[in-house]
Chain A
């Protein structure tokens, strides 16, 4: 039994881990160590190897070489079941719960093991579920089907499951990505409680302020290689970024001041009963970037979907360049000059199996056609122009989009929207899950487009981002507009206050003091 030189035995020790896929090294000689009762953050750009490392810890992948030691015992031939038995629980970005099964059953399945012929007791399961959930401050009904729960509730169910499984190593992959500030705050409190109880937490997040405030140690990966491990207090945000990127990279470039022109998009009392959007009025003028902030569930994406015609409005009016517009389908929206780059790029933004060119042209095929047949030369010209304009890194316009990195896929999604030559561009979480370098490029692009006269609506849960890029901010709450702030008026506290519905702006940010 190996014991470290200091008094605490490591929960998890990865040494010299290497993993390659088709000749490309996703991880190259990476080492990582997790002690009990600590939050150890893993940071790095997209493609740095974080998800590969997580999958190795989860037992979903086996390293090509290197050692994987849990509580002093070497792990050979790892598989998810074995990992669970070792006390490892993983909370992925997409909840790995069974939508049709109840909360209690989901929790129990994560914990129980045994022969397929063993009996189960529904009442016992229900009681245990209730107890575990209450420990996390959740009042979800154990018999409710998971499919009806919100993302934040589902995550708590996953954590309850991990707790029930007496996990001592908890891996969390971007846990607050889809949460509102308040829900994120609650979750971070739970993480701190777990830490106090001796659980070791491997925490992966792009949200550097959160990571700096929460974690005890930070390990930075870059291009599959280990860069450095720092302890709390040794490094600040800029330092982390420098380590991640290998160069000095600016955060959000301040938006050049432009004089906004005529209103391109006006929403007057817009409502859609089905999606919960109620009486929304706002306007976007040419050359403006209007940010939409709010908690998850505030109705921001729902609003975008109404404006874009995916879920048509049943009350109020949309005016485009001063003219009333009836938008009942995405084609209508397109005809009016509105483009929407949706939130979940892998599912909605791009078609991974099709080429860059085919993706870019998907919205404008009619314009690129003759007698109903696609004009491939014109399509290639369009795609090539976007590849250069948006600096999309791809081997050719005929490469499958699935082979591109997250940031470049996002650019292809953007190209698809821009190809329709819109007057109004709606961006929904445009930089979610992409690395710092690509983020900066997207922000620069937005400023450029605005300067060229587009009206841009940006939905973002990343407060620094939305504060940095917007000329004006609209805050939504419960499907309505809670308030509007100019660039000068907008501070994180005010935005949060409007989003939550409290007037006290002195509330400290959830990711601040422990």
Chain B
């Protein structure tokens, strides 16, 4: 059995356990309406996790995704509410801010050859800090037009959350990128052996910049969904999303050391986590329990995948 099938089987088993446990313990857990709620709440983290899969596949990591989401949310809020720009324009600029954030990460990693860990730890602090400084730590932008809010709160075809197609499209895109495309093969090689990839003619620098730029852009898109869903844009938007996204990726069977990746696994891991949060809430459990269990799940997933650093 390959590592991938082992992870998938474990996840499916976990999913089954969750469904049973929460159906018993929770109120209205096993309903279609709740199912839609689970999906709605997980789209933002899902988008981040999909982009993160590509980053982790190269052996890197991006700890700044949650902070960048917050920064983009604040940028959008300010542009749409303070600067009076039309929502589509503000939205486009917010996504652009995400792209620029990703570009900074990518540039520091490739041109200065800095370890992604410390770069994104620095930008994790920097981006959140910029969001806090811009809002003075207090400002909260609200009062967005109904049409925009529909992106995060609306439904279609009798209940399907409006943001679901976005996740589906992103899922398809990243699946094709990581598993079928020429670029994806290059990412895999970079994750396993970056120098060998370079010798083979893979444009390593360009590929790395690409995955970080994608990660940043996706954070920008996710920030729009977040603001639409909550109806507000504050500096703390996206706090803690990086842990959820990384957990979803690792649970899904992508190797934290790079090389082996699984986009379907990430989506499965995302679903497992989303059910966990939702189920605990419906079972009247304290919010903190979700955080504790997520942390433990991450550790369990790592331990069971029996991945060891070579040296």
Contacts and interface: CB of A to CB of B under 8 A. Distances in A.
Is any CB of A less than 8 Å from a CB of B in the complex?
Answer: yes
B185 A347 contact: no
A378 to B, nearest CB: 12
Interface string A342-353: 100001111111
A373 B185 CA distance: 10
Given A369-B182, A373-B181, A374-B185, A362 B193 contact: no
Nearest to B202: A362
A222 B269 CA distance: 49
B201 A334 contact: yes
A413 to B, nearest CB: 9
Given A352-B192, A373-B180, A340 B199 contact: yes
Contact residue range for chain A?
20 to 34
A351 B182 contact: no
A348 B199 contact: yes
A351 B189 contact: yes
B130 interface: no
Contacts of A405: none
B195 interface: yes
Nearest to B189: A351
Contacts of A416: 200
Nearest to B260: A353
Contacts of B180: 373-374
Interface in B138-194: 176, 180-186, 188-189, 192-193
Contacts of B16: none
B197 interface: yes
Contact residue range for chain B?
20 to 34
A420 B203 CA distance: 16
A215 interface: no
A372 B182 contact: yes
Contacts of A369: 181-182
A334 B201 CA distance: 8
A331 B189 CA distance: 16
A354 B176 CA distance: 19
B188 A354 contact: yes
B98 interface: no
Nearest to B180: A373
A311 B259 CA distance: 26
A358 interface: yes
B261 to A, nearest CB: 12
B196 A351 contact: yes
Contact of A351 (B183, B184, B197, B203): B197
A347 B194 CA distance: 9
A407 interface: no
Interface in A411-463: 416, 420
B182, B186, B188, B196 — most chain A CB neighbours (10 Å): B196
Nearest to A369: B182
A74 B185 CA distance: 52
Contacts of A361: 185
Contacts of A353: 192-193, 259-260
Given A352-B193, A354-B192, A372-B181, A365 B186 contact: yes
A49 interface: no
B182 A362 contact: no
A329 interface: yes
Contacts of B197: 351, 362
A135 interface: no
A334, A374, A420 — most chain B CB neighbours (10 Å): A374
B198 interface: yes
Given A352-B193, A373-B176, A310 B199 contact: yes
Contacts of A354: 188-189, 192
B196 A374 contact: no
Contacts of A348: 195-196, 199
Contact of B200 (A352, A363, A372, A374): A363
Contacts of A330: 198-201
B192 A351 contact: yes
Contacts of B188: 354, 358
Nearest to A330: B201
A329 to B, nearest CB: 7
A292 B202 CA distance: 27
B192, B199, B259 — most chain A CB neighbours (10 Å): B199
A362 B200 contact: yes
Contacts of A362: 185-186, 189, 197, 200-202
A502 interface: no
B185 A365 contact: yes
Interface in A319-375: 329-331, 333-334, 340, 342, 347-354, 358, 361-363, 365-366, 369, 372-374
19 contacts: A310-B199, A330-B200, A330-B201, A331-B201, A334-B201, A349-B196, A349-B199, A351-B196, A351-B197, A351-B200, A352-B192, A353-B260, A354-B188, A358-B189, A362-B186, A362-B189, A362-B200, A363-B201, A365-B186
Given A333-B201, A353-B259, 14 more contacts: A310-B198, A310-B199, A331-B201, A351-B189, A351-B192, A351-B196, A354-B192, A362-B197, A369-B181, A369-B182, A372-B181, A372-B183, A373-B176, A373-B181
Interface of A: 310, 329-331, 333-334, 340, 342, 347-354, 358, 361-363, 365-366, 369, 372-374, 416, 420
Closest 5 CB pairs of A and B: A362-B200, A365-B182, A353-B192, A330-B201, A351-B193
